[in-house]
Amino acid sequence: MVYIAVVFILGSLSSEADSFMNEYLFNGYSFQWSRGVYLSVGEPLSLIIYPGPNLEGVLCGLGGNAIYDLCLELRGGKTNTIDEQPDDLPVIQFATGSGSVAYTITVTAKEMMYGATADSAYIFFAMRPALEDTMNSVPVETDSEITGE
């Protein structure tokens, strides 16, 4: 019976995560990954991801109904970022370098509501190719130089 309840809750949370990911997809974030997890309060869970080189985007956590405070940490490459804002939807922006690097995600349900001790959460990232800074190498003439004024 508990298994059926977990599948139902994770299924509805999955559709909510899919709607967030679809919004990112609409905005050009074509590289995506997601994972449903079950968290006990105060017990960190670590995952390893390989997003690929030359990408930029966001790593998000989406807490279930009972999660009040979800902490998300991203480590890898030259990144070590922690989102400790007290909310159930943490977002970390990050960019990968030119090499393929493994990143470690640590997610912790710090606080729960309704006396719960565990709940499900979804972790996902949405990435797109990094925009290169292009410098204009050809100097632009002002209007007065063009018209001879």
pLDDT tens per residue across span 47-90: 999 888 899 989 999 988 888 999 999 998 888 899 878 888 89
Q: What is the rounded CA–CA span in Å between residue 109 and residue 103?
A: 20
User: What predicted TM-score, i.e. pTM, was given to this entire model?
Assistant: 0.73
pLDDT of residue 3: 45
CATH number at residue 72: 2.60.120.380
Higher-scoring residue by pLDDT: 149, 98: 98
Residue 100 in domain: yes
Number of domains in the chain: 1
Residue 139 in domain: no
Residue 34 confidence class, pLDDT cut points 50, 70, 90? confident
Residue 66 in domain: yes
> What domain range includes position 112?
2-130
Residue 85 in domain: yes
Residue 124 in domain: yes
pLDDT of residue 20: 81
Q: Is the pLDDT of residue 1 over 70?
A: no
Q: Please state the rounded mean pLDDT for residues 95-122.
A: 89
Residue 12 confidence class, pLDDT cut points 50, 70, 90? confident
pLDDT of residue 139: 59
Higher-scoring residue by pLDDT: 85, 5: 85
Ramachandran category for residue 77: left, alpha or beta (phi over 0 → left; psi -120 to 50 → alpha): left
As to burial, measured by CB atoms within 10 angstroms (0-12 exposed, 13-18 middle, 19+ buried), residue 19 is: exposed
Q: Is the pLDDT of residue 112 over 60?
A: yes
Q: Is the pLDDT of residue 28 over 80?
A: yes
Report residue 67 as tokens: 């999660």
Neighbours of 88 (CB within 10 A): 20
Residue 140 in domain: no
Residue 135 in domain: no
Residue 143 in domain: no
